[in-house]
Structure 1
Amino acid sequence: MAQKDDGHPCGISIFFKDARLALKMDDLGVEIAKIALPAALALTADPIASLVDTAFIGQIGAIELAAVGVSIAVFNQVSRIAIFPLVSITTSFVAEEDAVSDSSHENLEMHEQTEDKKLLQHTNTKPESLDSESLVTSNQKKRIPSASSALIIGSVLGFLQAAFLIAGAKPVLGFMGIKSDSPMLQPAQQYLKLRSLGAPAVLLSLAMQGVFRGFKDTKTPLYATVAGDVTNIILDPIFMFVFGLGVSGAAIAHVMSQYLISIILFWRLIEKIELVPPTSKHLQFGRFLKNGFLLLMRVMAVTFCVTLAASMAARQGSTTMAAFQVCLQVWLATSLLADGLAVAGQAILASAFAKMDYEKVTATASRVLQLGLVLGVALAVFLGVGLQFGAKLFTKDVGVLHLISIGIPFVAATQPINALAFVFDGVNFGASDFAYAAYSMVLVAVISILLLFIASSHGFVGLWIALTVYMSLRAFAGFWRIGTRTGPWCFLKVTS
């Protein structure tokens, strides 16, 4: 509902609203930081673990590095197709249900306090006798139906993903450009099949992370993820070099770490909420499927763009693929720092929209976008300098290092664009604007895919030019929705 409110900025001005306060640690700044910082660390932990895998495998040889690069790209992209819609929807739904639950709980407490005062006046009951009743109520677990739905769907999708990748490893890798006579095929198959055994744990843990994000609790997922990834880093050299398992050892270490993460998260979650709903109707599978299908369209478009780029790099040879893998992993790992802001924006906005607190909606959207731009610029400077010296950590191959040096300017310069694109995603999801997020991304993907086919003829540089345009279009799509004050942002229009 559009409301007149002089505090609401009009269209494009939301990006500049209170810009001088962007870095101020006021109430909103503290709330964003408490959610965004742990979320960013948790989100980057898995790509960092993959980077550690890449660094260890790079010591074996360029062929193994390229092979595992393709397998990681396949596993990550299939996981995104399976779980990204579920995580995004879960975060918004849980935040909305939690906000409504808190409001109802506050109203109930006020009513009970009024009744208790009346009772005291008539019976002279001691206040101490009421405290124990209040304590029992506050210790009751929350009943959030969306959480139960997310865990059921996540478990099913995890087993389906594992079955699909194990059974179809060879044809999938063939689609990625690794033919039956390629020296990359055997190590790529070994890694992909073994790592796929961890798919149920990966999808279940990500579903639970979506639940915790909805509660604005990103510390618990951080602790669990760090515990799992530290385990992965410790086990990597043991399985790979001590036991002599090579790329298979890296995959086994990663699978064990993922099951540890899911066990920790499940243990913490059952202490917080009631996982068994009163009836099957409370699971709201229809609501999940409707919005999930929209985001599935979106994530498939995103996935196809990145996977196509990796496939085209693989077709140019193991040297090009190895360099592309290193640049892509760094590009994604650092960009995911901005996704921490996106998570904070989504959780706070979903809660604010549920309460129709439009002043907080505009303030939050402005703040996370401004922080995203600041973060992007800082990452650009850091990577522009750091990668010049850090590339040798991943490989000693001269040809691969040369191509990495060519990719560094693209990886660094696109960070501000990437940061805004990620934050816009969180803003749109927080507004439950899933339809626009899906349709706009499909349009962006169509343009980007056509450009990839054209630019691939220019080799390694052409691929990175196409990816730069792709991320720029993603950021523009988010900018357009708020700037035109349409959809859930129509309240920005000042009406008489």
Structure 2
Amino acid sequence: MIALAVPAFGALVAEPLFVLVDSAIVGHLGTPQLAGLGVAAALLTTAVSIFIFLAYATTAVVARRVGAGDLSAAIRQGMDGIWLALLLGAAVIVLTLPAAPSLVELFGASDTAAPYATTYLRISSLGIPAMLVVMAATGVLRGLQDTRTPLYVAIAGFAANAVLNVGLVYGADLGIAGSAWGTVIAQWGMAAAYLVVVIRGARRHGASLRPDAAGIRASAHAGVPLLVRTLSLRAVLMIATAVAARLGDTDIAAHQIILALWSLMAFALDAIAIAGQAIIGRYLGADDPEGAREACRRMVQWGIASGVALGVLIVLARPLFIPLFTSDQSVKDTLLPALLVVALSQPVAGVVFVLDGVLMGAGDGRYLAGAMLVTLAVFTPVALLVPTLGGGLTALWWAMTLMMTVRMLTLWLRARSGRWVVTGATR
């Protein structure tokens, strides 16, 4: 578990650094350019995160085949996911290029920032197929119980992105367009590195590299429930941000700080979930239901322990990191009690992330989709009542804790039922 989870955490943390590097470099061009980057980056992040199922679903199906001892079929199914990623990426480009100005306007970019946002969005959309290929190929390697290669590729991609951005923005004097082109080149470089690894594995084990219509349809079908789950989770985060915005500038500023910290902690817990996807899929593929159940129990223990550790870390380190985000005393005063709520909820989050990974590894996507829809239905009215009932940002994060608790209960009931334990090379 540790051997899979630690490199996975490193790769997860490396991904958001792309936007941070772009922001740091573009920020010196001027405020309108940075504002344009912010709008375009939000659109790109949303578009790509919708397709995270390419990694999750691929991990599960490949791990099952690995457990069954059929590496050729494992890689073949992984290639189906990669072909699906290319098709989806091409479709996104076709939609984004002509719609870029309208999308930028929809997100409320100012007249001065809109041209920069449109330029960045149009150029960066050319890298979306590469980003989706990276997702699918990462799922293949995770299913093959390899999380080290994604870490190395992520580090190399981050370094290349930084060098290319500096060279093209300032050396070639391309401005924000140079930042977009640098990121696109780095993304396609990462995709190429993954494809080299996967193609070598395919040739070694005699797996076909040609697109298979039936296999691509199967990959898409397996991804639909996870897409519903992801959209529901994104809706929760968007509703929470919208409610925080209604509470006032101080509350939304504090909310953004907490949300950034919450996301960072989610990366740590998600690393255990990724290990769970790979390990559970392998056990079930090997017709070892007891091994899968024991792995589930062990990972839940790890999740709780990690959540407790993160919660304690938040409480102890708050005097150190809060000043890094803001010097406004009113924001600090608003942030602190809500942050303590987040700290208390981390053990619950640990269980949620682990069981989410276990059920993904088992290919139990339909249940995950239904459970997330139930969670959204419970959370939405509670969150929307916060401005009316009072309690401010702290009440909103209690609503977020309720959301995580509902998720934990729905996932725990499924895990306890044993219905997720379906053995065999395919589900």
TM-score with structure 1 length normalisation?
0.72
**Greater shift after overlay, 378-387 or 471-480?**
378-387
Selected match of 2:412 from 457, 474, 479: 479
**CA offsets, 1:385-429, max 9 Å, x none?**
445433455567777667655654355443333222221111001
Q: How far 1:444 sits from its partner (Å)?
A: 0.8
**CA offsets, 1:198-240, max 9 Å, x none?**
2111111111000001101111111001111133345556666
- Runs of 5+ in structure 2 lacking a partner? none
**In 1, Cα distance between equivalents of 2:56 and 2:81:** 10
Q: How far 1:269 sits from its partner (Å)?
A: 1.6
Q: Please give the residue correspondences for 1:136-155 in structure 2 after superposition, counting only pairs within 5 Å.
A: 144-155=75-86
Q: Report the counterpart of residue 39 of structure 1 in structure 2.
A: 8
Q: How far 1:460 sits from its partner (Å)?
A: 4.5
Bigger relative contact order (CA 8 A; separation at least 6) = 1
Q: Which amino acid aligns with 2:192?
A: I
Q: Does 1:76 align with 2:8?
A: no
Q: Please give the residue correspondences for 1:120-269 in structure 2 after superposition, counting only pairs within 5 Å.
A: 144-172=75-103, 176=107, 178=108, 185=114, 188-189=117-118, 191-235=120-164, 251-269=180-198
- Runs of 5+ in structure 1 lacking a partner? 1-31, 106-140, 492-496
Pair 1:48–1:448, CA change in 2 (3 A): farther
Pair 1:319–1:73, CA change in 2 (3 A): farther
Selected match of 1:347 from 278, 285, 294: 278
**In 1, Cα distance between equivalents of 2:336 and 2:170:** 29
**CA offsets, 1:308-333, max 9 Å, x none?**
33455567787765654443233212
Q: How many residues align?
A: 419
**CA offsets, 1:131-156, max 9 Å, x none?**
xxxxxxxxxx7773211211110011
**In 1, Cα distance between equivalents of 2:248 and 2:34:** 12
Q: Report the counterpart of residue 218 of structure 2 in structure 1.
A: 287
Pair 1:224–1:425, CA change in 2 (3 A): same
Across the aligned residues of Structure 1 and Structure 2, the Cα RMSD in angstroms comes to 3.7
Pair 1:490–1:347, CA change in 2 (3 A): closer
Q: Report the counterpart of residue 57 of structure 2 in structure 1.
A: 89
**In 2, Cα distance between equivalents of 1:322 and 1:250:** 27
**In 2, Cα distance between equivalents of 1:59 and 1:318:** 26
3-state SS, counterpart of residue 373 of structure 2: helix
Contact in 2 for aligned 1:68/1:191 (Cα 8 Å)? yes
Q: Report the counterpart of residue 100 of structure 1 in structure 2.
A: 68
Q: How far 1:287 sits from its partner (Å)?
A: 2.5
Q: Which amino acid aligns with 1:90?
A: T
Q: Report the counterpart of residue 137 of structure 1 in structure 2.
A: none
**Greater shift after overlay, 202-211 or 151-160?**
151-160
Contact in 2 for aligned 1:277/1:283 (Cα 8 Å)? no
Selected match of 1:488 from 414, 420, 425: 420
Q: Which amino acid aligns with 2:296?
A: A
Contact in 2 for aligned 1:69/1:325 (Cα 8 Å)? no
Q: Does 1:329 align with 2:297?
A: no
Q: How far 1:297 sits from its partner (Å)?
A: 1.5
3-state SS, counterpart of residue 420 of structure 2: helix
Pair 1:151–1:365, CA change in 2 (3 A): same
Pair 1:245–1:475, CA change in 2 (3 A): farther
**Greater shift after overlay, 354-363 or 303-312?**
303-312
Q: Which amino acid aligns with 2:369?
A: A
**In 2, Cα distance between equivalents of 1:212 and 1:253:** 26
Pair 1:355–1:389, CA change in 2 (3 A): same
Contact in 2 for aligned 1:73/1:310 (Cα 8 Å)? no
3-state SS, counterpart of residue 272 of structure 1: helix
Q: How far 1:292 sits from its partner (Å)?
A: 1.7
3-state SS, counterpart of residue 101 of structure 1: coil
**CA offsets, 1:8-65, max 9 Å, x none?**
xxxxxxxxxxxxxxxxxxxxxxxx1221111121112112444555566778899877
Q: Report the counterpart of residue 19 of structure 1 in structure 2.
A: none
3-state SS, counterpart of residue 277 of structure 1: coil
Pair 1:77–1:267, CA change in 2 (3 A): same
Contact in 2 for aligned 1:70/1:310 (Cα 8 Å)? no
Q: Which amino acid aligns with 1:471?
A: M
Contact in 2 for aligned 1:94/1:146 (Cα 8 Å)? yes
**In 2, Cα distance between equivalents of 1:380 and 1:350:** 30
Q: How far 1:298 sits from its partner (Å)?
A: 1.4
Q: Which amino acid aligns with 1:74?
A: L
Q: Report the counterpart of residue 361 of structure 1 in structure 2.
A: 292
Indicate the structure (1 or 2) with the bigger Cα radius of gyration.
1
**In 2, Cα distance between equivalents of 1:229 and 1:481:** 39
**Greater shift after overlay, 43-52 or 393-402?**
393-402
Q: Report the counterpart of residue 135 of structure 1 in structure 2.
A: none
Q: Report the counterpart of residue 384 of structure 1 in structure 2.
A: 315
**CA offsets, 1:173-203, max 9 Å, x none?**
5555x2x657765665555444333211111
Pair 1:489–1:96, CA change in 2 (3 A): closer
Pair 1:249–1:327, CA change in 2 (3 A): farther
Pair 1:63–1:467, CA change in 2 (3 A): farther
Pair 1:316–1:165, CA change in 2 (3 A): farther
Q: Please give the residue correspondences for 1:31-70 in structure 2 after superposition, counting only pairs within 5 Å.
A: 32-51=1-20, 53=22
Q: Please give the residue correspondences for 1:433-448 in structure 2 after superposition, counting only pairs within 5 Å.
A: 433-448=364-379
